[in-house]
């Protein structure tokens, strides 16, 4: 009974879905699913297995396949991990870490297959003493040409120092919260964006890519919940400055699937998902579920920090960055490629079993 009747009604369903999509008057793929992921019209055809690329093996029962259509079919096939451990992770460490150790860290992360590793920061050593050796770190990683090694810069002066030190890519940041901008950079959000305009103009002239960060995208430690529209506005501004990608940071980790979804929807009205990344903190243990929400919405860039380095300066003792290892474990389990070359399953690798 199953398949013949299914095809009959699948026909109706297909027509309905196609009309529904046209009726919306827009391309549903605007929300940055690859069309192969969103192409629901394949869902019930004989190509359904092709459609369910990441789950062909797992879903044998019909009911299971229906669930996977609804819920995991929209996952990207590949996720780019942006490793922020050497910068965002280390900058909060109290004890100064040797330059040689930082260089080795970056080399190991690159060797493991991570496509982007944030190497260091050219923020004044007065504020971030841990990364005072930025110039030396950059000298030590100069030969790692196959990997993108962005560095954080706070202004034009920092940008120039970064370029002189050999940086080929930079990162800038703006807060979605006025209070946080005031406390962190002593200016308004608008002023900070204008400050970065000159950085981005200079970067454009020298063919240097710029990545943008937005902080406090769900909540601010000072003013509380942040309006999704504000986040969308700031993200759009950074995009218009020339950033190739905007990383949305839940700085205090209070996001949950509900608030994160709402925020991402607002942002994706202004910035396509293909230009977005997520930088979720794990302060309340919600980072992985929030990442799954982002993946389902078409975002396929995730920031994480090796060993979960980098606490939360606003909640003493709390964790901060989500651990790269946990993100990789999740993505491997979802059948999503990352380029990570060293992944070893636990226990059985140790016992020599598969």
Q: Which long-range contacts (CB under 8 A, 24 or more apart) does 326-331 make?
A: 326/287, 326/288, 327/81, 327/288, 327/291, 327/302, 328/81, 330/288, 330/291, 330/292, 331/79
How distant, in Å, are the alpha carbons of 150, 163, 204, 319, 342 from that of 207? 14, 11, 5, 36, 33
Would you state the structure tokens that stand for residue 226, as one six-digit string?
Answer: 């942040």
Considering only 36, 265, 307, 339, the residue that binds its own copies (CB under 8 A) is 265
Cβ-based nearer residue to its own copies, 58 or 194:
58
Within 10 A of 51 (CB to CB), how many other CB atoms are there?
21
Considering only 32, 43, 59, 79, the residue that binds its own copies (CB under 8 A) is 59
201-230 mask for its own copies (x: CB under 8 A)? -----------------xx-x--xx-----
Considering only 72, 79, 235, 301, the residue that binds its own copies (CB under 8 A) is 72
Of 200, 216, 220, 312, the active-site residue reads 312
In the complex, minimum distance from the CB of residue 139 to its own copies, in angstroms, rounded to a whole number: 35
Residues in the interface with its own copies (CB under 8 A) total: 83
Cβ-based nearer residue to its own copies, 185 or 269:
269
Cβ-based nearer residue to its own copies, 56 or 107:
56
Q: Is 312 a catalytic residue?
A: yes
DSSP 87: I
Considering only 262, 337, 339, 342, the residue that binds its own copies (CB under 8 A) is 262
How far apart, in whole angstroms, are the C-alpha atoms of residue 179 and residue 120? Answer: 26
Any contact of residue 261 with its own copies (CB under 8 A)?
yes
Query: Binding to its own copies (CB under 8 A): which residues in 291-350?
Result: 292, 296-297, 312, 314-319, 323, 325-326, 329-330, 332-335, 345-348
The three-class DSSP label of residue 281 is: strand
- Which of 63-71, 106-114, 152-160, 161-169 is the region at the interface with its own copies (rule: CB under 8 A)? 63-71
Query: Binding to its own copies (CB under 8 A): which residues in 9-48?
Result: 9, 12-13, 15-17, 19-20, 23-25, 28, 30-31
How far apart, in whole angstroms, are the C-alpha atoms of residue 222 and residue 247? Answer: 21
Within 10 A of 101 (CB to CB), how many other CB atoms are there?
10
Radius of gyration of the chain (CA): 22
Are 137 and 119 in contact by the 8 Å Cβ rule? The answer is yes
């Amino acid at each position: 009974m199953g398949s013949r009747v299914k095809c009959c009604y699948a026909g109706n369903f297909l027509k309905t879905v196609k009309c529904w999509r046209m009726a919306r008057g827009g391309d549903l793929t605007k929300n940055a699913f690859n069309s192969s992921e969103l192409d629901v019209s394949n869902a019930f055809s004989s190509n359904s297995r092709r459609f369910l690329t990441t789950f062909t093996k797992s879903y044998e029962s019909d009911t299971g396949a229906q669930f996977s259509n609804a819920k995991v079919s929209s996952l990207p096939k590949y996720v780019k991990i942006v490793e922020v451990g050497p910068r965002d992770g280390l900058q909060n460490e109290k004890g100064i870490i040797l330059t040689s150790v930082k260089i080795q860290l970056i080399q190991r992360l690159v060797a493991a297959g991570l496509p982007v590793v944030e190497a260091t920061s050219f923020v004044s050593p007065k504020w971030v003493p841990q990364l005072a050796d930025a110039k030396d770190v950059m000298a030590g990683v100069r030969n790692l040409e196959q990997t993108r090694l962005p560095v954080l810069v706070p202004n034009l002066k920092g940008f120039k120092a970064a370029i002189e030190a050999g940086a080929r890519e930079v990162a800038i940041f703006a807060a979605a919260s006025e209070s946080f901008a005031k406390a962190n950079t002593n200016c308004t959000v608008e002023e900070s964006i204008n400050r970065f305009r000159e950085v981005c103009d200079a970067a454009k002239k020298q063919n240097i890519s710029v990545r943008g960060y937005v902080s406090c995208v769900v909540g601010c430690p000072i003013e509380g919940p942040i309006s999704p529209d504000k986040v969308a506005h700031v993200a759009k501004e950074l995009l218009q400055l020339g950033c190739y990608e905007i990383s949305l940071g839940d700085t205090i980790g209070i996001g949950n699937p509900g608030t994160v979804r709402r925020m991402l929807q607002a942002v994706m009205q202004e910035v396509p998902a293909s230009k977005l990344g997520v930088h979720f903190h794990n302060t309340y243990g919600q980072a992985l579920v929030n990442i799954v929400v982002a993946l389902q919405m078409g975002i396929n860039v995730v920031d994480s920090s090796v060993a979960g380095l980098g606490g939360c300066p606003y909640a003493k003792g709390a964790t901060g960055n989500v651990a790269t290892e946990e993100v990789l474990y999740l993505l491997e389990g979802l059948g999503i490629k990352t380029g990570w070359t060293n992944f070893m399953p636990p226990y059985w690798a140790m016992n020599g079993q598969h």
